Amino acid sequence: MCGIAGWLSEDHNLYEKSALLTAMSDTLKRRGPDEGGIYIERKIALMHRRLAVVDIENGKQPMVYCDDKEKYILVYNGELYNTEEVRGKLLAKGYEFESHSDTEVVLKAYACFKEKCAEMFNGIFAFAVYEVKRKRLFLCRDRIGVKPLFYSNTNGEFLFASEIKAILKSGVVKPIIDEKGLNEIFFLGPARTCGFGVFRDIEEILPGEYAFLENQKLFKYRYFTLKAKPHEENEHETIEHTRYLIEDSIKRQLVSDVPLCCFLSGGLDSSIITQTASDYLKTTNKAKLNTFSVEYRDNQKYFEKSVFQPNADTEYIEMMIKSADTNHHEIILDNILLGEALPNATRARDLPGMADVDSSLLLFCKEVKKEFTVALSGECADELFGGYPWYHNKDILFEESFPWSRSQDIRRKILKKGTLKRGEEYVKESYLDTIRAVDNLPTDSKLDKRMREMFSLNFYWFMQCLLDRKDRMSMNCGLEVRVPFCDYRIVEYAYNMPWELKALNGREKGIVRRAFEGILPLEICYRKKSPYPKTHNPVYFKFVSEKVTDILEQKSLLTEFIDKENVLNLIEHPENIPSPWYGQLMKTPQILAYILQLDTWFKEYNVEIA
C-alpha cells in the first residue's frame, strides 16, 4: 500500500517545481513511510510514497516499462489478490518478469491489455499509467472503492492524488467550498457523495471507474456497477457458495512479505476472518496468528445496552481466542487521548469524519503498527448481507430517506436559523439520485426490489464512508488494512441473493451465519449484531463538551453557522436528540466531537466560503 500523486501541466515547467512536488509527496509520507520516488518531465510529474509489503527489493516506483511501441510509467497504490493468475496470462503472451511484485504485473497488464486490465484484477487499488509517446494518462480505481483517487482538472492543470491534502498542497486548487460543499458537511457528513471531494474543483474517480486524460480532456468510463441477475441456486448451494467466496477471499489476502495480523471484535465478521486465517496459516506451517481488539479505559463501568449495542465484546473475544488459538493483544484507549486525537483524525481524512469512531481507529492502528504492517478486518459484511437494524425494521424500511440518518432535525437545530435553506432538499435529491440508478429485475418482488435499493444506498454511501475511515486512519499510521468482504465476487453474489436467503431464519446475515456453523463456536455464529465499540465514559463527554463550549465563545468561520444556544442546550440535555446524527454510534458526544472536527477543518485547512 502506498500514496500516489501526479501533476500534468499545460503552462508550467515542472522541472522548476521540484520543491513543490517534494512537498506534495511529503503530504503522503505517512501512507508510504518506507521510501519515495518521482518521475518528472517538463509537463508531467508522477510521485510515489511506498509502504513495502510484497517484494520489498523489487517493487520500487514509479516503475517504468518499455516495449517496441511505448514507454509506460506507473504509480500504484494497492494490492492484487489474483497476481499469479494475471501473471500467467502475461507469460502466455511472452512477457517476462524481474520480480514477484504485483506492481510489475499491473504495469505489464496495462501495456498488454490497456483499460481491459481493470476487469482482470481482483484487489484493492488506485493507479495511474502515463504513456510517454502518446502523452496520455490512464487512471483506475478498484470496483468497490477501497483505495482512494482524487483529482482536479482546472485551467490547464490536472492533478491527482490518494488524498486531498496533496492536491491542495500544489496551490493550484484553493480550499474553497460553496453551498454544495456546505450541504455535504452539515447535512450529509460524515457521508460524502461518491465522486465529490467537498472542496470546489476536487472530484474523485468513482469505484469501478477508469479514465483517460488526453489533451487536457478527461474521459471517464464505468467498468463495474451493481447489476441485477437471477439467483439460480437453492438454499444448500447458496450456503456453500457463500462460504467458499468468503474463505477464498480471506486466503487470497493472507499473502504478505511482512508481519500480518487480524482485528478481532468477537463479532461474526471478524471471527470468520480470524478462524479462517488461523486455520489456513496452520496448514502452511506458519507461526500462530496474532489478533488485536480495542476497548476504552473503564468502559465496563459505564456500558449501556441498546438495540444497536446489546452486549459487550469481551466474553466473545475470549471465546474466539480459544477457538482460533491466537496470540491476542487488547489495546486499551484512554478517553482523554481519544478526544485529543480528533484533530489528527480530521487531518488524516482531510474532512470532518465519524468523530471518535475515527480517532479511536487512528489510535488503535498506531498501536498495531508497532508490531505489524498488514492487518485483516471485517468491514462491509453488514452492508452486503443485511446486517444493520434498518434492513429489518419494517416501520422504516420503505421510508424515502437514508436509513442511518432519517431525520435532519438535529442537524437543522445546531445551525443558525436561515442557514443553508436547501439542506433537506439536497439530502432528498442525493437519496433519489441513488435510487433512480438501482438495477433490478422485472421479476423482483416489492421486498426484493427494496432490498436492492437498500443494498445500493449502503454500498454507495454508508460503506464508502467506512472505507474512507479505514483507509485514512490506517494508512496515516503506515498500516495496510485489508477487507476480505470487499471482494467484488462477494459483492456481486450478495446483490443478487434473494432476501429470504440472505436473511435466512429471519436473522441479519442469516446466510453467513449458517455458512459458518460448525466452523465457529455456535455462540459466535448467532451472536446479535454489535457495532464497533464506542466509549461510554463520562470523562469523554466532559472533554468534548468543554472543547465545544470554548469554540462557541470564539468568533470563527464555524461559529457563523452554529446556533450557540441550541448547542449549549444539547450539552446540558444530551438525551434530547430525536435520532442519532449518523448511523448507530453518533449521538450527543459524537455530535459535539463532529463540531470540534469541523472547527479544526475550517481553521487548519484555511477553508474559504464561495
**What is the grid cell recorded at 272?**
470468520
**What is the grid cell recorded at 344?**
489528527
CA separation for the pair 589, 475 (Å, rounded): 26
CA separation for the pair 352, 15 (Å, rounded): 35
Q: Report the candidate in 356, 351, 353 with the shortest Cα–Cα distance to residue 165.
A: 351
Q: What is the mean pLDDT of the chain?
A: 94
Residue with cell 521540484: 18
85 with 78: CB under 8 angstroms? no
- Please identify which of the residues 2, 380, 477, 486 carries the catalytic annotation: 2
Query: Strand, helix or coil at 544?
Result: helix
CA distances from 369 to 33, 163, 166, 479 (A): 12, 21, 23, 6
User: What single DSSP character describes residue 282?
Assistant: H
Can 2 be counted among the known catalytic residues?
yes
In this predicted model, what pLDDT tens digit does every residue of 1-23 receive, in sequence order?
689 999 999 989 999 999 999 99
Taking 70 as the pLDDT cut, the residues of the chain under it are 1, 54-56, 58, 301-312
pLDDT of residue 311: 61
CA separation for the pair 374, 479 (Å, rounded): 6
pLDDT of residue 54: 67
pTM of the model: 0.96
In this predicted model, what pLDDT tens digit does every residue of 573-605 receive, in sequence order?
998 887 778 887 788 999 999 999 999 999 999
579 with 142: CB under 8 angstroms? no
Phi, psi angle pair for 162, to nearest 5°: -70, -30
DSSP H helical ranges for 75-142 = 83-92, 102-113, 117-120
CA separation for the pair 453, 437 (Å, rounded): 9
